[in-house]
Structure 1
Amino acid sequence: MAPMVGFRSSRLAPLALMVMALLWGSTLVVMKSAYAHLSPTDLLANRFVVGALALGVLMPRAWRANPRTIARGLSLGMLFGAGQVLQALGLRSTSASVNGFIGGLYVVVTPLLGAMLFGRRVPRQIWTAVALATVGLGSLALNPADLGAGIGIGELLTFAASVCFAGQIVALGRFATASNVASLALYQTIGAALVCMVCAAPGGIRIASSGQEWFAVIYLGVLCGAMIAFLQSWAQARVEATRASVIMCTEPLWGAAFAIWLAGDPVTLQVILGGASILAAMILVVRPPRRRRGTAALRPDRPVRCSRGAHPAGDPALTSGSE
């Protein structure tokens, strides 16, 4: 029988994704100062190597995984690492606001990929949340002055990054279980490190040297690398992929909050409307869906196998993604 997911852990999963989005939002301030000393690919390589080392030391049992889990984790990490590199390359020829908006479109691509690859039917409530999240993302990330320049190589690279992010979210939703969370997190981080090291290698990988550089690398690697990989794997074993992507899309909201708090950015109507849209989307996906009396809430993208005579995991709150 497949392992059962407890009621409490299923309710904590959206909170884990929100913590993950908060950490992602904080990376912008740290990365902005780090880019003065390290190139984007060097910083990414340093970041994910440190993240993999941290997970390997803190969770030594995670190394002991079967070949299938190792292969899946490395593949997921390579997708995520490719997305990181593509978005960094796209930033060279796009504005930061356009880059951030297009990179965040994984919230739209995720349900489309789920439908195309696995025949997943997305409820109307979730499409509404996706639309609200996209509006909020545009309001928070886009600068009207940067619009109208057309679609160039930078925009295409950044959109390719969003497809990689969406693919990683959808695949992780299929692969993550309560028993392989730590191993998936470890091998994902190793996979991302490998991709970033290969991309940084042609110019020679520069290792952080000063205290300021090491602070950025350790913060990004341990908190925004290792911890995020674990939180996402743990949460996506309990929350359906499209719902997870909407919650993760609160990242620009947290980024705006950090910019207002640390950099003194003004609170504008655009920020207020964007934040309200994203919060409304999050409420829609976190709210328990309606279902018929007597039906169990199962992960819609992973059927539960039961032994003869046993009832399917009877926890009514296995995930917020049931219909």
Structure 2
Amino acid sequence: MGLVITAIIWGTGFIGTQLALDGGFTPIQILTIRFFIAALLLNIIFFKQVKKYIDNKSIISGVILGIFLFIAFELQTVGLVYTTPSKNAFITAANVVIVPFIGYLIYRRKIDKWGLISSIVAIIGIGILSLEKDFSINLGDFLTLLGSIGFAFHIFYTSEFAKKYNPLVLTAIQFSVAFILSFIVQVITKEVSISVGPIAYLGVIYLGIFSTTIGFFLQTICQKRVSETKTAIILSTESLFGTIFSVIIFNELVTVKLVIGCLLIFSAIIVSETKLSFLKNKKDVERTKNISAIKEDENINLS
């Protein structure tokens, strides 16, 4: 339930980002402010707990998560400048089929056939959603896809680290690292000066408090009990919520291409996990029936 709530919050986050961009913030300014708010809130509110459980290994783990978080959000936010919120949401959700391959490459964890099939379906969906008539890809869609890979690494390593270290420490450190990296890039690109409207501040404050602080804290806590693959499946539904809110709030045009591409990606997301569970349950039922039939025949023969 915590991950579902996180997905809903993140789904509305695409709208917050769009409001901040339309209001005048640059992508890197949005990231700096949202991570500053999140780092400040967590480190102040949970200062005693963070101080109690922090150690060198948790610091290193938090830094790794912060780097992946910054890279993923930077690519996703810049991508949103050149594409629509709904496409941005669904392409980001493709991280769900990337997570199992990370496990295979790093730890040689087995990839099931349904995971492979769902990956192919997701790639086709992304192609339909993103490729133009001449088979070129929009810059925003390409950057969003790279960001999706970054989120896949973040989800994977969050699952690995959340089982070993305190979630509060990991979350506080990764936000602090992401803020520092964002601020450094902001200074380098000379985007320190801010001149925006009220609607932009509303969007970025929402991102800082809800999408970042509450959303990622919930994710880190819940991943202590849920595997990285199931986490990716549940969190991927943010794309559905993102598209719904985008259509309602921004009156985004719903095209046949958009619907087909989104349906394929969403189907791949669902199949990569639920199909396996369905087949397993079906086999268990059949096996139980066969065992019952054999026992019944044995009883008849004994009689």
Query: What range is the shorter-chain TM-score in?
Result: 0.7 to 0.9
How far apart are residue 256 of structure 1 and its match? 1.3
Out of 76, 83, 90, the residue aligned to residue 65 of structure 2 is 76
Pairwise CA RMSD: 3.5
Measured in 2, the distance between the counterparts of 1:136 and 1:160 equals 16
Identity of aligned residues (%): 26
By percentage of residues, which structure has more helix? Answer: 2
Match of 1:182 in 2: 168
Out of 183, 187, 196, the residue aligned to residue 201 of structure 1 is 187
Out of 227, 248, 253, the residue aligned to residue 261 of structure 1 is 248
Tell me if structure 2 keeps the 8 A contact 1:256–1:271: no
Tell me if structure 1 keeps the 8 A contact 2:93–2:148: yes
Change in 2 beyond 3 A, CA 1:138/1:230: farther
Measured in 2, the distance between the counterparts of 1:272 and 1:155 equals 16
**Structure 2 runs not aligned, ≥5 long:** 285-303
Measured in 1, the distance between the counterparts of 2:246 and 2:20 equals 16
Match of 2:10 in 1: 24
Measured in 2, the distance between the counterparts of 1:234 and 1:278 equals 25
Match of 1:167 in 2: 153
Match of 2:266 in 1: 278
Change in 2 beyond 3 A, CA 1:154/1:260: closer
Change in 2 beyond 3 A, CA 1:288/1:208: farther
Letter in structure 1 aligned against 2:179: A
How far apart are residue 225 of structure 1 and its match? 0.4
Tell me if structure 1 keeps the 8 A contact 2:17–2:204: no
Measured in 1, the distance between the counterparts of 2:141 and 2:126 equals 16
**What does the per-residue CA deviation read over 1:4-57, in whole Å, with 9 as the maximum and x for residues that have no partner?**
xxxxxxxxxxx3222222222212222222113211111110011001112223
Match of 2:204 in 1: 217
How far apart are residue 175 of structure 1 and its match? 0.9
Match of 1:192 in 2: 178
Measured in 2, the distance between the counterparts of 1:151 and 1:264 equals 24
Match of 1:43 in 2: 30
**Structure 1 runs not aligned, ≥5 long:** 1-14, 294-323
Which of the pair has the greater relative contact order for Cα pairs under 8 Å at 6+ separation? Answer: 2
Change in 2 beyond 3 A, CA 1:280/1:18: farther
How far apart are residue 178 of structure 1 and its match? 7.3
Q: In the alignment, does 2:43 pair up with 1:56?
A: yes
**What does the per-residue CA deviation read over 1:270-306, in whole Å, with 9 as the maximum and x for residues that have no partner?**
538835862684476368944999xxxxxxxxxxxxx
How far apart are residue 147 of structure 1 and its match? 4.9
Letter in structure 2 aligned against 1:18: V
Match of 2:300 in 1: none
How far apart are residue 126 of structure 1 and its match? 4.1
Structure of greater Rg? 2
**What does the per-residue CA deviation read over 1:46-72, in whole Å, with 9 as the maximum and x for residues that have no partner?**
011001112223322134311111221
Out of 103, 106, 123, the residue aligned to residue 117 of structure 1 is 106
Q: In the alignment, does 2:226 pair up with 1:239?
A: yes
Helix, strand or coil at the partner of 1:73 = helix
Match of 1:66 in 2: 55
Query: Under a length normalisation based on structure 2, what TM-score does the superposition of the two structures give?
Result: 0.75
Measured in 2, the distance between the counterparts of 1:100 and 1:49 equals 24
How far apart are residue 250 of structure 1 and its match? 1.7
Measured in 2, the distance between the counterparts of 1:173 and 1:128 equals 24
How far apart are residue 160 of structure 1 and its match? 3.4
Measured in 2, the distance between the counterparts of 1:224 and 1:147 equals 35
